[in-house]
Amino acid sequence: MTALDLSSPVAVVGTGTMGQGIAQVALVAGHPVRLYDAVPDRAREAAAAIGARLDRLVEKGRLSAADRDAARARLRPADDLAELADCALVVEAVLERLDVKQELFRSLEEVVSPDCLLATNTSSLSVTAIGGALSHPGRFVGLHFFNPAPLLPLVEVVSGFATDVTSATRAYETARAWGKTPVACADTPGFIVNRIARPFYAEAFAVYEAQAADPATIDAVLRESGGFRMGAFELTDLIGQDVNESVTHSVWQSFFQDVRFTPSLAQRRLVESGRLGRKTGRGWYDHRDGAERPEPHTAEKQQPPAYVVAEGDLGPACELLAMIREAGIEVREEDEDNGTRLVLPGGGQLALADGQTSVEFRDVVYFDLALDYRRATRIALSACQDTGARTVAEATGLFQALGKDVSLIGDVPGMIVARTVARIIDLAYDAVAKGVATEEDVDTAMRLGVNYPLGPFEWSRRLGRTWACSVLDDLHQRDPSGRYAPSLALYRHSFATEKREGAS
């Protein structure tokens, strides 16, 4: 099954920001495009807005004047659904209400031809439920674009329970012909991106709710150590707290209030207060004119230790040993079967975040996971109130000697980056095991849909196949609510690896 022929008209119903963006994508790809909106004159206004954006593309040299003129000639507002009768594809981008969408598609079925492909751009509703209102749900599919649709490459092609393979394939190939990167997924709450991305927000909010760090510090650690483009607090301020919380709540409810997707009470209070982010001037941050952006916590300068004793190879942080030597600090190595820590001159220990807490041990400072310890510009350290001041100072000075800013946070298991990445990896394995998508499509979706520096499976391979399960096991022991319990899929993956390695 191939993509739609460029001579085939495409219709977009709903002319808000997303509807206009989808229409522009189809138009620039070469299709005749019909625009329809139930509000009178809205389609004409949208056509004018799209024309203005085409003008800007010409000004920027991204579109020729001739192609712009040809695209404008192919764009036509429609006053009635009946004008969409000759369309080969109709994409809906209307209000996120099941009854509204079902009524629209019932009406469309009476207008379009039997072989017309019908698609919804829903981000939070069940594709199966919307298609359930149709007489012929086999031709119904989800085409979830990301905003802004003309710029972001990812499209989730969602097959409902009754979607025909031929319909899903045609939608997939059409999205690819439009210059997008499609990924195929089953109809599950949140699809791929909004399902697997929940821990990125949830764990940042949990660290905040535990009073372990402030939003500016958590965001800085996620960016400068984790390699994420934005932190969770600044990103949700950009998205809109109400929008982000609504998606989280929808996924949580759709999974029958699964504790792994529990919404944040702190975010709920923010929404209730009307602080929705940039669009209202205040969210986690103050975005009003003249407001100062809070700075992340950064430790004062400390003297580096003269030497460290390495017990083991530090696992995912093994690159630190070479970096410490390059900084002129002696590394004394001791063979330890299970050693993954540094012993400091004062006797204190420095260990990679593993889901345990400093208070459980004598004089231990934890350091957080980094995407790339050489390129990271900030490292988070955590300690409890009983950790020795000399140990904290030596640990701080060590990382400062490596050229890193150091943020001291509270004694929370898994710290910030480690717990976030472990949970993302877990949800990815769980999704693939349940047939939501392939590993390759999950990695593609998370890199392109939310700009993660690595896909979950790429991260898993880099960190070691047992790393995420081990971190989550430790977290689960300290929070037995089920939120951190490794999925059966991750457990099987980790156990099989250990078994093979033991046999060898």
Please state, in angstroms and as integers, the Cα–Cα distance from residue 1 to each residue in 169, 173, 350, following that order: 6, 8, 57
* HSE-CB of 224 using CA atoms within 13 angstroms: 18
156 is catalytic: yes
Smallest Cα–Cα separation from 463: which of 413, 424, 430?
A: 424
Catalytic residue among 92, 121, 126, 144: 144
476 is catalytic: no
| Burial of 60 per CB tally in 10 Å (0-12, 13-18, 19+) | exposed
Distance CA 483, CA 469 (A): 13
User: Dihedral, CA atoms, 60, 66, 67, 69, nearest 10 degrees?
Assistant: 100
407 is catalytic: no
Contact present, 267 and 245 (Cβ < 8 Å): yes
Catalytic residue among 124, 126, 159, 194: 194
Distance CA 54, CA 311 (A): 61
209 is catalytic: no
Catalytic residue among 121, 123, 167, 264: 123
* HSE-CB of 161 using CA atoms within 13 angstroms: 10
Contact present, 441 and 274 (Cβ < 8 Å): no
3-state secondary structure (DSSP) of residue 166: helix
Q: Which residues contact 419 (CB under 8 A, 6 or more apart)?
A: 199, 203, 353, 355, 412, 413, 471, 475, 484
| Burial of 261 per CB tally in 10 Å (0-12, 13-18, 19+) | buried
Please state, in angstroms and as integers, the Cα–Cα distance from residue 110 to each residue in 134, 215, 348, 398, following that order: 10, 52, 74, 70
Distance CA 341, CA 312 (A): 7
Contact present, 118 and 110 (Cβ < 8 Å): no
At residue 101, what is the residue type?
A: K
Distance CA 287, CA 158 (A): 36
- First and final C-alpha spacing in the chain: 46
Catalytic residue among 109, 156, 203, 245: 156
DSSP string, 338-379: T-EEEE-TTS-EEEE--S--GGGSSSEEEE---S-TTT-SEE
Residues labelled as active-site residues: 123, 144, 156, 194
